[in-house]
Amino acid sequence: MTRLFDKTFWGLTIGLVALFALNFLLEEWMRSIGLQSLSRGCVAIGLLVLWRTGLVSFGHALFFGFGAYTVAMLQIIGVNDIILLLIGGCATAGLLALVLGFLLRQYRAIFFALLNMAFSMILYGVLAKVEALGSTDGIGINQVSFFGFVPSDDSYRPTLFIFAVIFAYIAAVGSHWYLKSTLGLMTMAVRENEIRVEYLGYSAEKAIHIKYVLSGVLAGMGGVIMALTIGHVDPDSMVYWTVSGDFVFITILAGTGNVGATFIGALVYELLRTYAFEFAPEIWQLILGGSLLLIIMFLPDGLWSIRSEWRNRRALAAAKSGDAPAGE
Amino acid sequence: MAHVLEVYDLEKNFGGVVAAHNINVTVDEGETIGIIGANGAGKTTFVNMVTGYLPPSGGRIEFLGKSVVGLHPRDVTKRGLCRSFQVPQVFLSESIFDNMLVAYGIAERSGLGLFTPIHTDERAARVDAHLKRYQIEDYRDVAASALPQGVRKLLDIAMATVRNPKLIMLDEPTSGISVEEKFGLMDIIMEALRQEDTTVMFIEHDMEIVERFVDRVWAFYQGEIICDAPTAEAMVDEKVREFVIGQEYHPAHLEGGAHA
Amino acid sequence: MDFELLLVILVDGLVYSSYLFLVAVGLTVIFGVQKVLNVTHGAFYSFGAYLTAYLIGLWINDAEGGAFELLAFSLAVILIGSVFLGIVLGVLIERGLLKFLYTRDEHIVVLATFAGFLVLEDVILLIWGTDPYLAFRPLELMGSSEITGLIFDNYTFTMIGLSFLVAFVLWYGLNRTQFGKVLLAVIFDREVSMAMGINVTKIFLITFMIGTFLGALGGAYHAPIISVQPGIGVEVIVLAFAVVVIGGMGSIPGALIGAIVVGLSRAAAVHLYPELELFVIYAIMALVLIFRPEGLFAPIQARKI
Ligand SMILES: Nc1ncnc2c1ncn2[C@@H]1O[C@H](COP(=O)(O)OP(=O)(O)OP(=O)(O)O)[C@@H](O)[C@H]1O
Ligand SMILES: [Mg+2]
């Protein structure tokens, strides 16, 4: 736990290398699935951070959409390099989260979830009407350059994939390290007992605010990747409340035990969606909803809970067999 | 004489309920205060106000000569005035060790230190030493939710002392503990706090505990302090006997005399 | 602003309000008693709409007969269909799903009902397919009236009447009947009511069936006005959320006021600033949450220390 370079870090790094290698083998449709998983995975990491704080947002499509539409707007004014678009998308989403955070940090439970949803639906209502951004039809996203480099048409998607993998890797490792820091551990502390956090000398609201901004930035990043992946942004597939629902779905699917697991969850979700949609278009929502129900019913906190329960029992047994002075 | 805590004309109402009225007290360094009073007398409310959890309706509270009224609990804590709780406030699903680790992490943070890993070997060593002082090191890896009540109470107090406070207010440290274990528990707590050089105030319903550990008693009755006196005196005070401890109670220091 | 426009906004707004109220009231009833924010409610609405549109298409759209008989028959279809759905879906979701989740976190329950919603939406597709259904006959039969040059369907006015009827029946049931008293006790403090010997399990089931019935009724009564097609539930549920949050979750007068506030402001937006149509509803929701997090009419809660 002391070291930064722990199992999760190495797992993520191996994943990074493996994806680089895979990039040469992947067919385009697989790469698309990969890109979308990376995008949604980034958002889900943000939700994981909030979830560990005891908060669920039903409106993170707000920041996702903000990131995606920032790409569109930057392209309109002529900015077309991936790194600038990424910084722009993360910055605007983060800024929005910073501002809204002053309000949202005062809310908990269902109110937090719904207030987020309200804000995301406001953005939806606005985007659906803004002609300059294509209203409900949305607007196309052009191919971008990579640090000034413009790949040939054949190598455009593989290059995009490489960059998306790197961005997601940075997001994942950064979040993982963050979660191990004092500030990161505050997620658990705030969820478990805000009074205690206050009496230890830290502001629970401030801790929530920081996490909220982080989750906003990550969702913005996901939005940027998604915009570049599909080459198109529109309110229905970027900002509508069901989009937020999908993110929460992935968070539950992956469990909140590990940052790396989030990408696996996002991939499973993407595959589920793609295959269900392909082979059983009438019942793909049924399959999605059904699997969500099974997870909620039978794996409440993901596999992690089983592990810690078992650890706990062992420790208690050990404590009892020794002589415990402080009474039962 | 250094006053640690000074309270002047403190008032608190909840709607029509008077939870504090005309409270004027001081605490000197090194003294041990026992707060007694029936259920609902206003003891916890007093602690809540002093530590910034509730705003007083009126009056002044000074800690080390500076007013603490209007501060958040976190700021009061940072100044060196800490408390424990009637119902332990711990991170229930985490182990004792992780509870303490977070407590130390927050207490020792500085600027960007918040972004460094919380678990360092030095910090872990400090946590283990702390657990030893409170004799709960055997439960190091047990989740707080699975702890026996006494251990959880000790953890609550241990977490309140990571900043090495100047003054600590313990809210019923022995509630929910069986009679046989109360004294052992208090011995551990008082010994640990003595090592940390902390001035102690605690709320207690058991008069034998009060007599054994306390220098001075404040007796609360309906939001007012009806007696502020050295323990032996307070135990025979007519008002205290009538409104708080009951006429049947025989103070320990009189017992010998009564039999002679 | 001229008077005619004002009148149109008022009429339009009230019609829309009554629609919103019918949709939201079931949601608030369930939340009030069970503290469950029930996303499947959107599917109850769809079920009601589909069943009604299907049956009216089957029996009434092309039927011969007097207007009065056909209308009475339509009304019977709407009512009986909704009761049927209330019982079947209510039991299914409450006993088959929620029962297992009452001890879980609030937001987990919301997600579970979201999952249930996804499942039910596809069940609807499996039953009725993807083609739209139209149940225009009752609308035609009732005719229309003209107000300041604009044509309004008379059917939509009956919706206003139905809303007030539903509001009154619920109010009466809650405040003037034995069951209502028991319900209020459960709402106020679940644990204490259980200790008093109230069969909370049964109360939950009955409430949920009533809520489901109301959701289905909203869809059923609305079916003749709209084209019943996939996706209607998705839209409705967020609107219902907004109304319920604005009014105060769990409060029936709140749902009424919330519906009127949202309905009128939306009508005003549509006629004055059409580009704000969607925006305005959620902006009000956000504003209310900011200034009164519990909503305009927060139900009283037991003090828990
Ligand atoms: N947050 C609050 N809101 C309203 N009334 C309160 C609140 N906190 C305390 N009270 C009331 O103030 C009075 C004093 O309560 P307090 O908790 O201080 O008593 P206490 O002396 O600590 O009692 P106990 O021995 O039971 O812990 C009681 O009547 C209580 O009901
Ligand atoms: Mg108390």
- The C-alpha atoms of residue B217 and residue B36 are separated, in whole angstroms, by 7
Task: Return the residue whose CA atom lies nearest to atom 19 of ligand 1.
Answer: B40
Confidence at B180, pLDDT banded by 50, 70, 90? confident
Ligand nearest to the CA of B48: 1
Confidence at B112, pLDDT banded by 50, 70, 90? low
Q: What is the pLDDT of residues C218-269, one digit of tens each?
A: 999 999 999 999 989 988 888 898 898 888 888 888 899 999 999 999 999 9
Q: Which residue of A has its CA nearest to B98?
A: A185
Instruction: Report, as an integer, the average pLDDT of C51-65.
Output: 89
Token pair in block for residue B91: 């991170």
- The C-alpha atoms of residue C268 and residue B176 are separated, in whole angstroms, by 61
Extended strands (E) in C133-243: 144-147, 150-153
Closest to B2 measured CA to CA, from B175, B199, B137: B199
Q: Which residue of A has its CA nearest to C113?
A: A293
Residue corresponding to tokens 């009014």 = C247
In angstroms, the Cα distances linking C66 to A68, B63, C157 are: 57, 87, 21
Q: Which helix (H) or strand (E) holds B12?
A: strand B3-14
Confidence at B255, pLDDT banded by 50, 70, 90? low
C273-276's contacts with Cβ under 8 Å and 24+ in sequence apart are C275/A129, C276/A125, C276/A129
Domain map of chain C by residue range?
A: 11-291
Please give the number of the atom of ligand 1 that sits closest to the Cα of C305.
Answer: 1
Q: With contact defined as beta carbons under 8 Å apart, do A49 and A217 qualify?
A: no
Q: Which helix (H) or strand (E) holds B155?
A: helix B149-160
Distance from residue B41's CA to the centre of ligand 1 (Å): 7
Helix (H, G, I), strand (E, B) or coil at B23: strand
Q: What is the pLDDT of residues B149-177, one digit of tens each?
A: 889 999 999 999 999 999 999 999 998 88
Token pair in block for residue B118: 């919380």
Which residues, in sequence order, are CB contacts of A124 under 8 Å at separation 6+? Answer: A65, A235, A239, A240, A241, C278, C282
Q: Which residue of C has its CA nearest to A247?
A: C111
Task: Return the residue whose CA atom lies nearest to atom 27 of ligand 1.
Answer: B39
Burial tier of A91 (Cβ tally within 10 Å: 0-12, 13-18, 19+): middle
Token pair in block for residue A250: 């992935």
Report CB contact under 8 Å: B146, A312. Answer: yes
Q: With contact defined as beta carbons under 8 Å apart, do B175 and B125 qualify?
A: no
Q: What is the pLDDT of residues C22-53, one digit of tens each?
A: 989 999 999 988 889 999 999 999 999 999 99
pLDDT above 70 covers what percent of chain B?
94
Q: Which of B94, B116, B188 sits opposite A181 (nearest CB)?
A: B116
Q: Which residue of A has its CA nearest to B48?
A: A199
Q: Which helix (H) or strand (E) holds B18?
A: strand B17-28
Helix (H, G, I), strand (E, B) or coil at C301: coil
Cβ neighbours of B107 in A, within 8 Å: 200-201
Q: Tell me: pLDDT of B250 over 80.
A: no
> Chain A interface residues facing chain C, Cβ-Cβ under 8 Å?
56, 58, 103, 107, 109-111, 113-115, 117-119, 121-122, 124-126, 128-129, 241-242, 245, 248-249, 252, 282-286, 288-290, 292-293, 296-297, 300
- C128–chain A Cβ distance below 8 A for any pair: no
Domains and CATH numbers, chain B: 1-80+168-260 (3.40.50.300), 87-164 (no CATH)
Between C221 and C303, where is the model more confident?
A: C221
Q: Tell me: pLDDT of C13 over 50.
A: yes
Give the Cα-Cα-Cα angle B204, B209, B211 (nearest 5 degrees).
105
Q: Which of residues 176-205 of A touch B (CB under 8 A)?
A: 177-178, 180-186, 188-189, 192-193, 195-203
- The C-alpha atoms of residue A127 and residue C278 are separated, in whole angstroms, by 10
Q: How many residues does chain A have?
A: 328
Q: The dihedral of CA C226, C228, C233, C235: what is its sign?
A: negative
C264-284 burial by CB neighbour count: b if 16+ within 10 A, else e?
Answer: bbbbbbbbeeeebbbbbbbbb
Task: Return the residue whose CA atom lies nearest to atom 17 of ligand 1.
Answer: B44
Confidence at C300, pLDDT banded by 50, 70, 90? low
Closest to B111 measured CA to CA, from A196, A182, A189: A182
Helix (H, G, I), strand (E, B) or coil at B82: strand
The half-sphere exposure of A313 on its side-chain side, counting CA atoms within 13 A, is: 5
Q: Is B14 in the pocket of ligand 1 (CB under 6 A)?
A: yes
Q: With contact defined as beta carbons under 8 Å apart, do A304 and C119 qualify?
A: no
Report the relative pairing of strands A232-233 and A139-140 from DSSP bridges: antiparallel
- The C-alpha atoms of residue C174 and residue C100 are separated, in whole angstroms, by 27
Q: Is B41 in the pocket of ligand 1 (CB under 6 A)?
A: yes
The half-sphere exposure of A96 on its side-chain side, counting CA atoms within 13 A, is: 26
Token pair in block for residue A32: 């698309």
User: DSSP string spanning C111-136?
Assistant: HHHHHHHHHHHHHHHHHH-SS-B---
Mutation pick for ligand 1 pocket among B10, B45, B49 (CB with most ligand atoms within 8 Å): B45
Helix (H, G, I), strand (E, B) or coil at B200: strand
Q: Tell me: pLDDT of C66 over 70.
A: yes
Distance from residue B40's CA to the centre of ligand 1 (Å): 5
Cβ neighbours of A173 in B, within 8 Å: none
- The C-alpha atoms of residue A145 and residue A149 are separated, in whole angstroms, by 5
Helix (H, G, I), strand (E, B) or coil at A112: helix
The half-sphere exposure of B172 on its side-chain side, counting CA atoms within 13 A, is: 16
- The C-alpha atoms of residue C216 and residue C211 are separated, in whole angstroms, by 9
The single-letter DSSP state of residue B53 is: S
Q: Which helix (H) or strand (E) holds B5?
A: strand B3-14
Q: With contact defined as beta carbons under 8 Å apart, do A251 and A265 qualify?
A: yes
Report CB contact under 8 Å: A293, C238. Answer: no
Confidence at B256, pLDDT banded by 50, 70, 90? very low
Q: What is the pLDDT of residues C178-229, one digit of tens each?
A: 988 888 888 888 888 888 888 889 999 999 999 999 999 999 999 999 999 9
CA distance B107 to chain A (A): 7
- The C-alpha atoms of residue C37 and residue C110 are separated, in whole angstroms, by 6
- The C-alpha atoms of residue B162 and residue B101 are separated, in whole angstroms, by 10
The model carries a pTM of 0.86
Ligand nearest to the CA of B85: 2
Q: Which of C37, C278, C285 sits opposite A124 (nearest CB)?
A: C278
pLDDT at position C302 is 45
The half-sphere exposure of A257 on its side-chain side, counting CA atoms within 13 A, is: 17
Report CB contact under 8 Å: B92, A192. Answer: yes
Q: Which of A3, A196, A308 sits opposite B90 (nearest CB)?
A: A196
Closest to C87 measured CA to CA, from C178, C184, C274, C215: C215
Regions of chain A with pLDDT less than 50: 1, 303, 323-328
CA distance A284 to chain C (A): 8
Q: Is A202 left (phi over 0), alpha (psi -120 to 50) or beta?
A: beta
Query: For chain C, what is the mean pLDDT?
Result: 88
Q: With contact defined as beta carbons under 8 Å apart, do A312 and A318 qualify?
A: no
CA distance A4 to chain B (A): 8
Mutation pick for ligand 1 pocket among B10, B12, B17 (CB with most ligand atoms within 8 Å): B17
Q: With contact defined as beta carbons under 8 Å apart, do C22 and C201 qualify?
A: no
Lowest model confidence (mean pLDDT) among A273-282, B28-37, C53-62: A273-282
Between C85 and A300, where is the model more confident?
A: C85
Please give the number of the atom of ligand 1 that sits closest to the Cα of B42.
Answer: 18
Which residues, in sequence order, are CB contacts of C103 under 8 Å at separation 6+? Answer: none
Distance from residue B43's CA to the centre of ligand 1 (Å): 8
- The C-alpha atoms of residue A287 and residue B185 are separated, in whole angstroms, by 56
Axis-axis angle for helices C200-222, C3-34 (nearest 10) = 150
CA distance B3 to chain A (A): 23
Q: Tell me: pLDDT of B260 over 60.
A: no
- The C-alpha atoms of residue C66 and residue C63 are separated, in whole angstroms, by 10
The half-sphere exposure of A310 on its side-chain side, counting CA atoms within 13 A, is: 5
CA distance A196 to chain B (A): 6
Q: With contact defined as beta carbons under 8 Å apart, do A309 and A261 qualify?
A: no
Which residues pair with residue B201 across a beta bridge? B33, B169
Q: Which residue of A has its CA nearest to B105?
A: A182
Report CB contact under 8 Å: A312, B114. Answer: no
The listed CATH number (1.10.150, 3.30.70, 1.10.3470, 3.30.1490) that belongs to domain C11-291: 1.10.3470
Report CB contact under 8 Å: B115, A328. Answer: no
- The C-alpha atoms of residue A137 and residue A235 are separated, in whole angstroms, by 8
Q: Which helix (H) or strand (E) holds B127?
A: helix B121-133
Q: Is B216 in the pocket of ligand 1 (CB under 6 A)?
A: no
Q: Is A231 left (phi over 0), alpha (psi -120 to 50) or beta?
A: left
Q: Tell me: pLDDT of B50 over 60.
A: yes
Helix (H, G, I), strand (E, B) or coil at A190: helix
Closest to A175 measured CA to CA, from A285, A45, A79, A286: A45
Closest to C38 measured CA to CA, from C115, C105, C91: C115
C122-154 burial by CB neighbour count: b if 16+ within 10 A, else e?
Answer: bbbbeebeeeebbbbbbbebbeeeeeeeeeebe
Q: Is B40 in the pocket of ligand 1 (CB under 6 A)?
A: yes
User: DSSP string spanning B213-255?
Assistant: H-SEEEEEETTEEEEEEEHHHHHH-HHHIIIII-TT---HHHH
Which residues, in sequence order, are CB contacts of C136 under 8 Å at separation 6+? Answer: C61, C224
pLDDT above 90 covers what percent of chain B?
60
